[in-house]
């Protein structure tokens, strides 16, 4: 990897730096934890979360990697001039999920399809972040129009989706990718939602595709 480009990862809802441990073995990267995403703090609006993320970015070119609920924050921060590329793994702002019954059904379908070996790891992270911050983050970020955030964004955007991910359906992932002028969709056969944990090599390949050769 060219040393001049930094990769910055933002964990998903309730997750922390442990969720990307396997991915960071594939690509050198730093992790920025935020309220509801590794920190049990008051969750501010998305634009404030994005400002905190931008404040934590290193100097020089940066590739931002968001996962699940943090994709909205990564998209909101992506207009920073240091950002040269964005990877969005399983963005979860599909408007069809706002009714609780739809969200619950999709979450259950996804949870029971994920590999069971990662359950203890995920639960430890959720307990660390706490249900209050997680609930606040969902209420704050889920209505945020990620496709509008990506419209006109000049840098390349790769949307990564597992083909069995009910929280990020194929048509929604395609819509998000199409919203970015330089967006494209990568689907991982057999993967579900926790792709940063279960498919680190494939996600790393998406990251590397945005790095200069």
Which of 56-70, 90-104, 118-132 has the lowest average pLDDT? Answer: 90-104
What SS3 state is found at 4? coil
Query: Mean pLDDT throughout 146-158?
Result: 96
- 170-189, pLDDT tens digit by residue? 999 999 999 999 999 999 99
Q: Which of 157, 156, 168, 155 shows the shortest CA–CA distance to 195? A: 168
- Distance in angstroms (rounded) separating the CA atoms of residues 130 and 105: 22
Name the pLDDT band for 2 (thresholds 50, 70, 90). very low
Query: pTM value?
Result: 0.94
* pLDDT over threshold 80, residue 47: yes
pLDDT score at 212 = 79
Residues written for the chain? 213
* pLDDT over threshold 50, residue 53: yes
What SS3 state is found at 176? helix
The pairing of beta strand 62-67 with beta strand 83-89: parallel
């Amino acid at each position: 990897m060219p040393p001049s480009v930094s990769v910055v990862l933002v964990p998903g809802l309730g997750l922390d730096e442990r969720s990307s441990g396997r991915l960071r073995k594939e690509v050198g990267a730093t992790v920025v934890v935020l309220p509801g995403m590794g920190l049990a703090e008051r969750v501010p609006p998305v634009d404030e979360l994005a400002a905190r993320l931008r404040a934590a970015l290193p100097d020089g070119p940066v590739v931002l990697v968001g996962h699940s609920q943090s994709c909205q924050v990564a998209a909101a921060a992506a207009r920073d001039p240091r950002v040269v590329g964005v990877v969005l793994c399983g963005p979860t702002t599909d408007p069809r999920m706002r009714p609780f019954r739809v969200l619950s059904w999709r979450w259950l379908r996804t949870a029971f399809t994920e590999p069971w070996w990662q359950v203890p790891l995920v639960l430890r992270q959720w307990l660390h972040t706490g249900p209050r911050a997680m609930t606040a983050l969902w209420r704050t970020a889920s209505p945020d129009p990620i496709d509008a955030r990506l419209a006109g964004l000049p840098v390349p955007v790769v949307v990564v989706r597992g083909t069995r991910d009910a929280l990020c359906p194929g048509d929604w992932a395609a819509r998000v990718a199409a919203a970015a002028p330089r967006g494209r969709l990568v689907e991982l056969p057999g993967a579900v939602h926790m792709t940063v944990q279960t498919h680190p090599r494939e996600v790393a390949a998406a990251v590397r595709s945005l790095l200069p050769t």
